[in-house]
Amino acid sequence: MNFLESLKRHTTVVADTGDIAAINQHKPQDATTNPSLIYQAAQKPEYAGLHDDAIQYALKSPGDQPARRDAGMDKLMVNFGCEILKLVPGRVSTEVDAALSFDTQGTVAKAHRLMALYEEAGITRERVLIKIASTWEGIRAAQQLEREGIHCNLTLLFSFAQAVACAEAGVTLISPFVGRIYDWYRKERGADIPPDQDPGVASVTRIYNYFKKFGYQTQVMGASFRKVEQIVRLAGCDLLTISPDLLAQMEKTPGEITRCLSAEAARAFNEKKIHLDEKNFRWMHNEDAMASDKLSEGIRKFNADTRKLEQFARTKVETLLAA
């Protein structure tokens, strides 16, 4: 028995990568992607076919140059998702462009386009999660999409306010970012933080207990881990999405992991139920300096990587046209 095998007894393990070979190696139930991961994977020669197919799709699409560019990016994201779904029995998460993070209707429209491409490829809605940034606008978009039967994964989640608002909106899944929370507090303190005081682990534990105590159906998927100790302390969480390097470390570590989170234990959780309208959400989130910083930073980073991916595609188009 190794750590990864043991963890799978308590939690659904998800691969946090766009690298299809890594997914095939570790055999997770689900997989998640984001613009940064797709950008890294798209540059590998073994995935050139997925990129070239998206380029051809863009060139044949109607509309002006920006419209064709958007069509090609959507197709590229879905191409990777479809390849991943050949290897995992569960779901894949595909992210909406971060530039739409404050645009509710733009996010809804993008989700519709992504889902249409999946359905054209023969993939049912139950196997896809649309990833949306956990802004107020993003949460409202997810609420609308869930009512239409399109399931959502709310990402870039750092504050308790974001988590509560997502649960009240009835989203399928949230991805609180353990490692990025840890990074912020470590920088503030100027030193490593003991495992039993890890603020990222504490955040996910609080959210999980709150959801289970009050009967929310929204699943909690801890994300963005920096070390195995963080994963071990969240054993029992609904899902955990883990990078290939940490999955490999866990496979090489013999031993069993003790369950730390459970719905039964959550019943004793000492916290009152709250309701958040837009005003209260924005204030509560704003009062969390870490969450405000990391949400803004995360949106900027994902947007920058999406633009890098677009530039990479433009370069390939120019090469094809010049040939």
CA 256, 29, 18: angle at the middle one, nearest 5?
110
> Which stretches of the chain score pLDDT less than 50?
none
* Chain centroid offset of residue 249 CA: 21
pLDDT at site 312: 81
Residues with Cβ within 8 Å of residue 254, at least 6 apart in sequence: 1, 2, 3
Amino acid at 71: A
β partners of residue 240: 13, 222
pLDDT confidence of residue 320: 61
* Residue 122 CB contacts under 8 Å (≥ 6 apart), including other chains: none
pTM, two decimal places = 0.94
- Whether residue 213 lies in the annotated active site: no
What confidence score (pLDDT) does residue 213 get?
A: 97
pLDDT, tens digit (0-9, with 9 covering 90-100), for 88-117: 999 999 999 999 999 999 999 999 999 999
Q: Report CA torsion sign: 129, 130, 134, 136.
A: negative
Q: What was the pLDDT predicted at 21?
A: 87
Q: Bridge partners of 154? A: 132, 174
> Residue 115 is inside which H or E element, if any?
helix 104-120
Q: Are 269 and 142 in contact (CB under 8 A)?
A: no
The vertex-182 CA angle with 177 and 184, nearest 5°, equals: 100
Q: At what angle do helices 199-213 and 178-189 cross, to 10 degrees?
A: 140
Q: Which of 110, 131, 212, 294 is catalytic?
A: 131
Name the token pair of 268.
Answer: 């004793």
Q: Average per-residue pLDDT in the chain?
A: 94
Cα distances (angstroms) measured from residue 85 to each of 20, 33, 72, 297, 315: 10, 12, 20, 30, 28
Q: How far apart, in whole angstroms, are the C-alpha atoms of residue 198 and residue 230?
A: 8
Quote the CA–CA distance of 221 and 119 in Å, as a whole number.
Answer: 25
